[in-house]
Amino acid sequence: MNHLHFIDGQWAEGQGKDSFSAFDPAFGQPFAELRSASAAQVDQAVAAARAALPGWKATPVAERAALLRGFAEQLAARSDALLALQMRNNGKPRHEAQVDLDDAIATFSYYAGLIERQADGRDVPLAVEGFRATVHHAPVGVVGLIVPWNFPLVTSAWKLAPALAAGCTVVLKPSDITPLAELAYGEIAEQLGLPAGVLNIVNGQAATGRALSEHPGLDKLSFTGSNATGRLVMQASAQWCRPVTLELGGKSAIIVFDDCGLEQAVEWIIAGLCWNAGQMCSATSRLLVHEPIADALLARLAQALDAMVLGEAIGPISCRAQFDKVRGYLALAREEGLRCLAGGNVEQGAGWFVRPALYADVPSTSRLWNEEIFGPVLCAQRFIDEAQAIALANDSRFGLVGTVASADLARAERVAAALEVGHVWINSAQAVFVETSWGGTKGSGIGRELGPWGLAAYQGVKHVTRCVG
């Protein structure tokens, strides 16, 4: 299986030096062998995007919107195959794979409507008479999109849909761990008659990503992934003084007050920890629980975590390297002498399954409390009052999301306003809607995706001012 690169409207075999495999994490077995795109093929993809840019940005909004709706319709038509692939290559339970697909479909539909509603050429009020100013939106140009392995189809839709809507042309680099799902976008582009070069897809490992992120032919780069790689992406873009969007790590808090029902709290805690086997930048992996209910809540939570059925309620870790990383943190917890109430081990067998772990009264000096683990590992602390809860939640180098659970809505709103993050849920699981923004503060990244902010990330603002006196 080697036709994994979609360049200038044509499928191509990889010409890079690296070969790699796609794995089924439930069994720890490879099911597809692939070869990376070469640096020369990345050059070809960028050149194709550059050549296609004038025609695509001049394409009427109505035509671009129709093509975006075509992507949504074709994703839905390929539902069975895409769900099966997500389950096989990511290890996602079916209900999680379905949510991902629905999210991608909704994203393309949303941006089709948004560009139709965006008013170009509107007047800007001026304080000085005798002049008229109008505002216009222009695509930033050729953009590189580098997406991660935890949510293929989704993170690529969050970038690809607004980029195409804005009139940008694209070179997309999927993760080498999940290289297959994004190929559906190339197949759909071919079927819909998207002009050649508007969408290019290059698969590969680190060398391919480096060739794209360092390429002088890009006008913007959008990256979702680890902080370590994000720093390299930012450094590469700095030499060209080009804008970047970085959606990076998190170590988010869920705050549970004593007026929250235990059963409901347990449901929200597990959702924030175990969705996608904890492989989420938004995982609320720091639990802050009000002292009066701490013992009861932790006991009930431990029971619920131990009762989860691996492979049904929670899937495996998606790759061996991440599985080994999570296992290393479990070993570190033992070295640090943390009090384990649930899990704390991995399953013996071929698949990469980790039982959800709960550690109580974890000190703020612990690496498990401070570092992003990217697996179902939850660390808990107690708090006395609202002020302490806010201080503990904000004491992090990350600032992506947070959750507040309380029957006192005024208090919940106060706490939400005080959290130094980009998105807060109140009395809810992590429901993400395409109309709302996504992105964080501090070390969690630069810029926003989704909503009108996601479209603005791929547009430049141009004002035209003329004398009318």
Give the torsion sign (CA, 179, 185, 191, 196).
negative
Residues (pLDDT < 70) of the chain are: 1-3
The angle that helices 94-117 and 79-90 make with each other, rounded to 10 degrees, is 120
Pick the CATH number of 3-248+444-467 from 3.90.1640.10, 3.40.50.300, 3.40.605.10, 3.40.50.2300: 3.40.605.10
The domain locations on the chain are 3-248+444-467, 253-433
pLDDT the model gives residue 297: 98
pLDDT the model gives residue 119: 83
Q: Which pair of structure tokens corresponds to residue 463?
A: 């004002």
* List 96, 214, 247, 449, catalytic entry: 247
The whole model's pTM is what? 0.96
pLDDT the model gives residue 427: 98
* List 274, 281, 319, 379, catalytic entry: 281
CATH assignment, 253-433? 3.40.309.10
pLDDT the model gives residue 469: 75
- Whether 335 sits among the annotated catalytic residues: the reply is no
pLDDT the model gives residue 267: 97
The Cα-based distances of 423 to 49, 107, 440 in angstroms read 34, 18, 7
User: Percent of the chain at pLDDT above 90?
Assistant: 96
Residue 151 contacts residue 100 (beta carbons within 8 Å): yes
pLDDT the model gives residue 348: 76
- Whether 247 sits among the annotated catalytic residues: the reply is yes
Closest CA to 312 of 272, 268, 284, 353: 353
